[in-house]
Amino acid sequence: MNAGGSDDADGARQLRLLPWYGLHGGPAYVIADPERPGPVSRYADVVEATHLEMAAVLLGHARELAAEAGPTELRHLVAELTQALNDTLRIASGVRR
């Protein structure tokens, strides 16, 4: 295994960025085997699927509200969309490293 946490040639184990942050706000990782996911990897899969589903629902609400919402609703919508986009980009860019 190399210093990065993944096996060299066979790639059996990989360093996986988790969809939540560590204790001090930094990235959290688990060494994962894609062929035999452990409980942390399976839970991360559930969290990621939930984030993506929530983002899709929020996008639907945004489409409905964008034309008729007032300033307060739009500020709330922008805050929620920002968080959903952050979660989605984290999943898309760092599921496996």
Measured CA to CA, the distance from residue 26 to residue 55 in angstroms comes to 23
Cα 20 off chain centre by: 7
Per-residue tens of pLDDT for the chain, all 97 residues: 444 444 444 556 788 888 888 888 888 888 988 888 899 999 999 998 998 998 899 899 888 888 888 899 989 989 999 988 888 888 887 644 3
Measured CA to CA, the distance from residue 19 to residue 45 in angstroms comes to 9
